[in-house]
Amino acid sequence: MNMTHYMSLLADNQPWNLILFMAIPVIFAETITVTEFIILFTKNLKGSLRTFNKICSILAGLYFTGVFLYLFPTAFIPLTMNGEWHTWVDVVAVGFYLSGVLFLLPLALLDLGLIARKRTAEQKMKLHFILISGFLVVAHIAMIFGMINPEIVGSMGGMGDMMH
């Protein structure tokens, strides 16, 4: 079976790539989400659980930014320049995976106090929730499209021309 580059990345160097590129970011995101729900339902915007949530958010944002900075020049750019994508589903899987940085980096910046400084605690929590939700959406889209066999979609005809 032919597979997307997303799935190839996770399958290579077992179990390390799976841990580094999927498990760590997803476990962080799920931990942040669960603690976020508890914080929102209890309306306790301060305390140890919020501190833990904040630490996880900062670590997740910085960690995934590192993943992005590693994969964008070593995978995305070469695949694009060489026209090596395995159909459009491959582009969607990798593109959505990498777009997670658009949500996790601002999450870290928010909890580091570098953005949204003038917002109320409630406004910051709302932004926090939107950012972690956005990451979960793009991560799941990446996972779904990453599991598709690109052979069933057919060729992208002309993709090489679009990428240069």
How far from chain centre, in Å, is Cα 9?
15
CA distance to 1, 30, 77, per residue, from 111 (Å): 43, 17, 31
Please give the model's pTM, rounded to 2 decimal places. 0.90
Give which of 108, 106, 105, 94 is closest to 138, Cα–Cα: 94
pLDDT interval class at 113 (50, 70, 90) = very high
**What is the domain count for the chain?**
1
- Mean model confidence pLDDT for the chain: 92
**In which domain, by residue range, is 141 found?**
5-162
| pLDDT at position 1 | 56
Determine the average pLDDT of the residues in 151-155.
75
Q: How many CA within 13 A on the CB side of residue 34?
A: 8
CA distance to 18, 68, 71, 79, 161, per residue, from 98 (Å): 15, 6, 8, 14, 23
Share of the chain above pLDDT 90, in %: 85
